[in-house]
Amino acid sequence: MDTQKDKLLAKAERLNVYRHGPVAYLKKSITALLFENWVNVLMICFPLAIHMEENHGDPSNIFFCSLLAIAPFAERLSFVTEQLALHTSEVLGGMLNATFGNVTELIVSLFALKYGMLRIVQCSLLGSILSNLMLVLGCAFFAGGIVTKQQKFSAPASSVNYSLLVLSASSSLLPCAIDANPSEGAPPGSGLVVSRVLSCMMLVVYVCYVTFQLVTHTFLYEDDDDDDEEAGEGEEEEEEEAVLGVAGSVFWLAVITVVISILSEYMVDSLEAAAVGWGVPDLFLGTIIIPIVGNAAEHAAAIIFAVKNKMELALGIAVGSSIQIGVFCVPLLCVFAWSIDIELSLNFGLFECLTYLITALVVGAIITSGQSNWLQGVVLITGYAFVSAAFFVHADPPELASHAEHHHE
């Protein structure tokens, strides 16, 4: 008992970031935030983007600078979230990481909604899901599989995640099927009505999912104790790195979120002009390029955890983040758009919905086994390359394009 008490006291002391005084705290926190990651060099693009926006510069350059600047701020958002998670349970920490990892996509979508760019809202969210499920998870499986031949994780938890992914994909496919083959005598806009009803149902499912993960079945989402013991002392040292504290973490979360909001507005506002200037489809920028940058922090974190053979955390970031977007963010935006009289549907288009469903089925087939290897990582990364190539040449059908233009006006 005394040993356990001593460990708890030692941990409390390590988590006390103010023990060396306020000056030492400020110096250490600023250094950790700004100078301990080479990606932070890209933060210089933030003032450049502001300067060009205020002086009505070339939209292509504004988009490029905003896109580059978002990467380090999204990564720092992940770092701050991890600092906050040190003061919570492992499962809650993983959920916080997934939640704030999606802040970038959510803010981009809100600004796209503000400008009436409904297709960019849909495609950026779908692109984030596809990026997480194939690129991020694939790289994690590949990197982890190179170090450890066969990696294991909870099959029951993966089965639950699989069912939620397929449910989310189905919620998009059903309105798409209704719009593509309207029933005789059905009122116009039936797909939109179904989308709104399904969105409300999905939000209820998300509440159930959070309860399942944090209350009733927490044990499914935690790493085994045996694995923790094998990790050794090096792992414990990692947990000692409390730098910001709770108050500092909350403050920096607010500051970074405001910065990402400014960059997101610049990026969305200049997206269409940048697409024309570069000769690239705007849907390709929204579905492939923006999510890759927005998911940069999650990408790095998932690979690091996989290399350390902490697969529950790696899957929590990649798959958990996708579930959160599909079951929470997309329905929430649909309901929010409904509340301000904007017709945002779950019908992403036939090509997009089928891509989503196929991705969910392929990923589900891999993760339900409860183990992974490097070849499965190659399969997922190659699948993402297929999707990227298809989106580069894909154009919206006339009915979706005209609907988007109507709202953009």
pLDDT in tens, 169-222: 999 999 988 888 776 656 667 888 999 999 999 999 999 998 888 778 777 776
Rounded distance, CA 353 to CA 346, Å? 9
Q: Please report, for the chain, the start and end positions of each structural domain, with discontinuous segments joined by +.
A: 9-225+242-406
151 bridge partner residues = 372
Main-chain phi, psi angles of 149, to 5 degrees: -55, -45
Predicted local confidence at residue 229, as pLDDT: 47
CA distance 27 to 25: 6
- The distance between the two most distant Cα atoms of the chain, rounded to a whole number of Å, is 75
CA atoms of 78 and 322, how far apart (whole Å): 16
Interval 243-292: pLDDT, tens: 777 778 888 888 888 888 888 888 888 888 888 888 888 888 888 888 88
Q: How much is the pTM?
A: 0.81
372 beta partners: 151
- Which three-class secondary structure state does DSSP give residue 310? coil
CATH number assigned to the domain with residue range 9-225+242-406, chosen from the 4 options 1.20.1420.30, 2.40.30.10, 3.40.640.10, 3.20.20.150: 1.20.1420.30
Q: Are 327 and 164 in contact (CB under 8 A)?
A: yes
Please state, in angstroms and rounded to a whole number, the distance separating the CA atoms of residues 93 and 85.
4
Tens-place pLDDT, residues 232-241? 444 444 454 6
